[in-house]
A and B are shown apart, each in its own frame.
Chain A
Amino acid sequence: MATFTGQVASFAALKTAIETTLSARGWALVNGILSKGVSFVQLTATATELRLQTGTGQAGAALTGACPQLVKLLSFTNAPIQWPAVYVLHVFDAPDEIYCVLRYNVDRHQHLNFGVSSMPQIGGTGLWCSGSFRGDVDGTRAGVKIYIDTNSGTQLGVQPYDGFGLGFFFASIAGTYHSSFIHCGLEGAPAWRTNVGGNTGDLLGVSHKAGLLHALPSQFNQATVLLPIDVLMARQAQGQTIVATLAHARYCRLDHLDLNAPLIYGPERWMAYPLHALHPVQRNGVGWPIGGQHTGTFGIALREVAP
């Protein structure tokens, strides 16, 4: 377990940095595919994207049991990445969880991450992945916007009709391009669960945390609380099951935090990042249909461990 940081001038360089770092820490890199245990992950860099695809195995240079959807970092037309940019890699084993944060254009962030669920009895491999964008988002369109639904029925989450899915299972049940997936064997044969919605086998997003995330930071002490990221899946007969709880990432609110300093709780150190960009005034983000170029004060805390 360790945290690594550096500067890169292209997505190709970031791909190399991730592969080099993981290769030195127990991951195999064979024919361009990173693997360890049940995890098989392929990175592909272009001038404007770093794509990540997960699978359940590999045959030569091809993934087998590949997830039908990809996740990616994207230099989109509305705000292209001004290289160089800074990356932070939070690397964990037992369970394997890899978080890549790319900070660019002063204060914008994108995320790409994957890991293995340690929840018993869920079937499948439990491999999950998420990224700021789904693989098929068209980044040439201007006006990639973030929609955060905060109004009806106290639901919460991003509504990615044409842009940011944000990752981290921070999904509302509205929108198309959600970008958090998991391989799970409940409600049918083991399969990649890529859909967010209300049908059996769909993922249910972050609405179950709406009340607590909207309550933070607490008024009585101005503090945030780090909330577990529970990946919730719809079961038959109005059931729902937590199929993963990320071991080293938490939801949080960024009001009153110094993002350059770790949060310290006894022996634990956490670094907080915006889901995309911090806006301290429009703190619940901007809803449909206008959207904004920020994620309010919704954030992610990643566990930090000295290299």
Chain B
Amino acid sequence: MAYAIDTLVKAGGDDAHYRLLGAIQTLAEQVGWTTLRFDTSIPERELILRSTGTTGEEEITVGFKAYQNLAADYYNLLAATMVGYVPAAPFEAQPGIKSSGVPGHNQAVTYFLTANPRRIVGAFKVGSPIYAHLYVGKALAYARPKEFPSPLIVAGHFEGRDARRYSDLHWFPYKGRKGSGDSNYNDGHLYLRDAAGTWKKVQISPFGNGHANEVTYASLAGEYVGRSGSGNRCLVPAGTLHQPQPLELYDMQFGAYDNDVRGYPSSGNLYGVLDGVSFVSGFNNASENVLQLEGSAVIDQTSLSVRQAVDAIRAVNGRAFVVLQDGARTTWRDYVAVEMA
């Protein structure tokens, strides 16, 4: 278990997004990931990592690749999860690969990342600023271990290596299918590799709560701006203590109306839960707040940096959650908390 919070600047050296690859490698190796490829000799630098998971008997392969365009002024990382590794094959031709672009920057990037042997999760702060999230590795399946041994996830902001900039339209991956009523919403870019081996977008509770074709309704992280009615609400804390909620991956469909029962048949799957990232309300909250749960003392965070606050909370055996928003969005339902552990 490890976490890393820091700011990288170009400052005459490598571009900041290049340097991120090194930061990710350092973090991952601290928790037992091994580097299969780290090629800095090419313009689109590549990092491929493998872990044996928390059991020591698994094979989890993830990768990051820099992709940039000077004229279009974007400097991004492509996050990827694979089902194997072939040394002779190019990055994009690795077995079972699925990827999603994460907006970065060449001048400066602040990163909030945490890793364990199962996954790497966190976000970058770039530009104006926006917060760009990623998740590679495994989720935790709601199944006996041998029923669904490899619930692989890749999550970012773009469709593959989309030629977009951090300032373009995009969403963080955690709202999932039908998790937002924003115009042009693209269901986000979180992909689960299901038990049949298919990469697919899924619905994510509590941002989503409906069936496959319905925009979110009556969920804990419901849409409320400009709306009224009991189905359009968002979680707020009872007082000052926030209530982080698990991000659960599911799909659900209703069948044809059955007049005999005056209702609809339903079917679906509740696959599991993301590890290390939770929904948290944005009420009385802001990005880079550090929420403390548990611990022998409540840390006074006055004048502490994010990194210092996390360190202090963990030093009293507390749990530290860094609050991070969806891109540039800041309504109540636009935040997650990444637990730095």
Contacts from A to B (Cβ < 8 Å): 119-122, 148-151, 153-155, 173, 186, 197-198, 202, 204, 207-208, 210-212, 214-216, 218-221, 223, 225, 230, 232, 234-235, 238-243, 282-290, 292
Contact = CB atoms under 8 A, between A and B. Distances in A.
A290 B228 contact: no
Given A198-B229, A221-B148, A240-B220, A211 B250 contact: yes
Contacts of A288: 262
27 contacts: A120-B238, A121-B238, A150-B266, A151-B263, A151-B264, A153-B214, A153-B217, A153-B218, A153-B231, A210-B209, A211-B252, A212-B205, A212-B248, A212-B252, A212-B270, A218-B142, A218-B269, A218-B270, A219-B267, A220-B148, A221-B195, A223-B147, A239-B332, A241-B236, A241-B238, A242-B235, A242-B243
A209 B234 CA distance: 14
Interface string B216-259: 01111010100111111111111111010000101110100100
Contacts of B227: 238
Majority secondary structure of chain B interface residues (helix, strand, loop or mixed): loop
Contacts of B231: 153, 155, 207
A243 B235 CA distance: 11
The A interface, classified by DSSP as helix, strand, loop or mixed, is loop
A136 B300 CA distance: 51
Nearest to A291: B262
B203 interface: yes
A186 B142 CA distance: 34
A240 B237 CA distance: 8
Nearest to A240: B233
Given A151-B263, A216-B268, A287-B261, A211 B208 contact: yes
Contact of A214 (B241, B262, B268): B268
B140 to A, nearest CB: 12
Given A154-B214, A234-B233, A284-B261, A215 B238 contact: no
Contact of A197 (B209, B210, B220, B230): B230
User: Among A154, A202, A234, which residue has the most Cβ atoms of chain B within 10 A?
Assistant: A154
Interface residues of B, number: 58
Contact of A155 (B205, B217, B236, B238): B217
B265 A284 contact: yes
B218 A207 contact: yes
A3 to B, nearest CB: 25
Given A215-B252, A218-B142, A148 B237 contact: no
A221 B143 contact: yes
Given A211-B205, A218-B271, A286 B263 contact: yes
A267 to B, nearest CB: 15
Contacts of A219: 267-269
Given A155-B231, A207-B231, A223-B143, A214 B239 contact: no
A232 B332 CA distance: 17
Contacts of B262: 286-290
B230 A218 contact: no
Contacts of A290: 262
B137 interface: no
B232 A215 contact: no
A250 B264 CA distance: 23
Given A211-B250, A284-B266, A287-B261, 18 more contacts: A149-B263, A151-B254, A151-B257, A155-B218, A155-B231, A198-B230, A208-B220, A212-B252, A215-B266, A215-B267, A220-B195, A230-B220, A234-B233, A238-B234, A241-B235, A284-B263, A287-B262, A287-B263
A35 to B, nearest CB: 25
B341 to A, nearest CB: 22
A284 B264 contact: yes
B210 A154 contact: yes
Contact of B218 (A151, A197, A208): A208
A211 B203 contact: yes
B268 A238 contact: no
A154 B232 CA distance: 12
B206 interface: yes
Nearest to A216: B270
Nearest to B209: A211
A221 B147 CA distance: 7
A240 B234 contact: yes
Contacts of A238: 224, 227-228, 232-234
Nearest to B229: A198
Nearest to B208: A211
A254 B230 CA distance: 28
Contacts of A287: 261-263
Given A120-B238, A285-B263, A204 B230 contact: yes
Contact of B209 (A151, A154, A289): A154
Nearest to A207: B218
Give the top 10 A-B pairs by smallest Cβ distance, nearest first: A121-B239, A215-B268, A198-B230, A287-B262, A238-B224, A239-B236, A214-B266, A207-B218, A215-B252, A154-B210
A284 B251 CA distance: 17
Contacts of B250: 211-212, 215
Contact of A186 (B208, B238, B252): B238
A290 B262 CA distance: 8
B234 A211 contact: no
Contacts of A214: 211, 252, 254, 266, 268
A67 B293 CA distance: 33
Interface in B184-224: 194-196, 203, 205-206, 208-211, 214, 217-220, 222, 224
B74 interface: no
